[in-house]
């Protein structure tokens, strides 16, 4: 090997030795720096614990502030202590009246896992639920909704809190918030049904609900009898229906219709769902679809007078007077006190008669044929008006206190120039 090569090799070895020494020095500096951070964190944690003992929440937050950016690189014990102290401070502030700090406390506690932290989260959940109950009682519905949702976030298994949160948001008319919660429930396939364990109290004869173990003990002891396990109805249909109603409220008819379609897949015979979907079609101007759904609702609930009345209204709008009268008559048969059905039954005859008046007014000639046609139309019109009057006379017999019937009846007799009956009805109105 030449002298030149030997010098080159020695030079490379020297550089390698120097680099190693520099790396060791750098590692030593990093280690010293990390130790300094660790000591600083422990000092701050001690200061925070001291402030916590004095119930000084702000003191805890101030003590923890300097290590905020480095705590995630700390050892697990220090990290748990930091987030637990942080959660404790926010909890103190929340219980002192600043409800917004509950969320900060939850976020802090949820950064770590320990039995003690789990117990504290459970305590916050109970505090939130109790506070939400008070808010609902004081009509602070949106605050209640937010707290119930936070309680759900602590324990996602307690989906009932999410359901109550949505209901509170609706009560507070915060529909976007309610929609958010209801969609969460829908995505979770929340059912909401439960089994209620009941038995009859032998002493009082009343059926009471209790947990299963208690119920079984009471029955065995003879103080209760006739145990039953009763499953409550699913809330899924209600949830999807509310989603549709909110979309309608917010003017998003397309999403509302999609929600009704989904809801009816779950519960096709829910009359309220059918009616709400029918009303949406009516709003969109599709009266034929509205009428079809109303008839579908009648098949499910044939003794519902409102359904027959609505069929009557839409049929009359379409000038289908025979269908309208059949619907109004069925409504009256079910509920003789349904005044609007009586009034509209009469109006169906008047409206049809008025169509003949238009034809009468269109006759311009004075020929015998024209006069005969005019007289024929007039006779038909008067016969229809008379049927309208008869419908109200029958209605008045079963609803003698209703002045609205008499007012419309008086107007019909006036149009017929039947002054005898006009005066009779006027006398009834004056009584």
pLDDT of residue 301: 94
How many whole angstroms separate alpha carbon 285 and alpha carbon 417?
39
pLDDT of residue 46: 87
pLDDT of residue 428: 92
pLDDT of residue 154: 93
Longest dimension (CA), the chain: 145
- pLDDT tens for 233-263 read 888 888 988 998 899 888 899 999 998 888 8
pLDDT of residue 9: 52
Residues in the chain: 431
Is the pLDDT at 17 greater than 50, yes or no? no
Beta strands in 117-212 (DSSP E): 195-201, 207-210
Q: Taking a C-beta distance cutoff of 8 angstroms, is the pair 51, 63 a contact? A: yes
**Residue 280 CB contacts under 8 Å (≥ 6 apart), including other chains:** 244, 248, 253, 256, 257, 260
Q: Considering only 25-29, 88-92, 189-193, 392-396, which range has the smallest mean pLDDT?
A: 25-29
Is the pLDDT at 332 greater than 60, yes or no? yes
* CA dihedral sign, ordered 61, 63, 66, 69: negative
Give the residue with greater pLDDT, 24 vs 312. Answer: 312
- H/E stretch holding 334 reads helix 321-334
Please, which pLDDT band fits residue 36 given cuts at 50, 70 and 90?
A: very low
Please, which pLDDT band fits residue 18 given cuts at 50, 70 and 90?
A: very low
pLDDT of residue 130: 93
Is the pLDDT at 28 greater than 50, yes or no? no
- pLDDT tens for 116-137 read 889 999 999 999 999 999 999 9
How many whole angstroms separate alpha carbon 220 and alpha carbon 206?
17
Q: Taking a C-beta distance cutoff of 8 angstroms, is the pair 265, 257 a contact? A: no
CB atoms within 10 A of CB 231: 9
Single pTM value for the model: 0.65
């Amino acid at each position: 090997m030449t002298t030149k090569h030997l010098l080159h090799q020695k030079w490379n070895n020297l550089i390698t030795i120097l680099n190693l020494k520099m790396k060791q020095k750098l590692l030593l500096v990093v280690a010293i720096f990390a130790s300094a951070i660790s000591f600083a964190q422990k000092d701050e944690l001690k200061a925070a614990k001291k402030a916590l003992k004095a119930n000084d929440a702000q003191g805890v937050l101030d003590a923890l502030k300097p290590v905020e950016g480095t705590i995630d690189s700390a050892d697990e014990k220090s990290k748990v202590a930091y987030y637990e102290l942080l959660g404790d401070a926010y909890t103190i502030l929340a219980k002192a009246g600043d409800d917004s700090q509950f969320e900060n406390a939850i976020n802090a506690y949820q950064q770590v896992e320990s039995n003690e932290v789990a117990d504290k989260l459970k305590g916050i959940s109970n505090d939130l639920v109790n506070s939400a109950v008070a808010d609902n009682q004081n009509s602070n519905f949106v605050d209640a909704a937010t707290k119930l949702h936070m309680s759900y976030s602590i324990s996602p298994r307690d989906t009932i809190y999410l359901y109550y949160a949505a209901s509170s948001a609706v009560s507070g008319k915060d529909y976007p918030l309610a929609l958010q919660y209801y969609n969460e429930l829908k995505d979770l396939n929340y059912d909401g049904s439960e089994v209620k364990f009941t038995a009859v109290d032998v002493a009082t004869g009343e059926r009471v609900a209790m947990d299963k173990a208690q119920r079984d003990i009471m029955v065995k002891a003879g103080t209760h009898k006739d145990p039953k396990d009763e499953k409550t109805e699913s809330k899924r249909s209600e949830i999807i229906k509310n989603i549709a109603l909110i979309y309608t409220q917010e003017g998003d008819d397309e999403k509302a219709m999609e929600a009704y379609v989904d809801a009816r897949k779950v519960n096709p015979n829910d009359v309220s769902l059918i009616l709400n979907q029918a009303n949406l079609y009516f709003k969109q101007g599709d009266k034929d679809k509205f009428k079809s759904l109303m008839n579908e609702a009648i098949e499910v609930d044939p003794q519902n007078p409102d359904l027959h009345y609505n069929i009557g209204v839409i049929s009359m709008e379409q000038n289908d007077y025979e269908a309208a009268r059949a619907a109004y008559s069925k409504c009256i048969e079910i509920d003789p006190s349904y005044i609007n059905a009586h009034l509209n039954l009469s109006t169906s005859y008047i409206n049809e008669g008025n169509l003949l008046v238009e034809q009468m007014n269109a006759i311009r000639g004075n020929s015998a044929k024209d006069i005969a046609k005019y007289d024929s139309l007039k006779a038909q019109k008067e016969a229809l008006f008379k049927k309208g009057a008869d419908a109200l006379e029958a209605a008045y017999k079963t609803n003698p206190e209703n002045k609205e019937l008499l007012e419309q009846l008086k107007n019909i007799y006036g149009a017929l120039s039947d002054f005898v009956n006009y005066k009779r009805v006027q006398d009834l109105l004056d009584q």
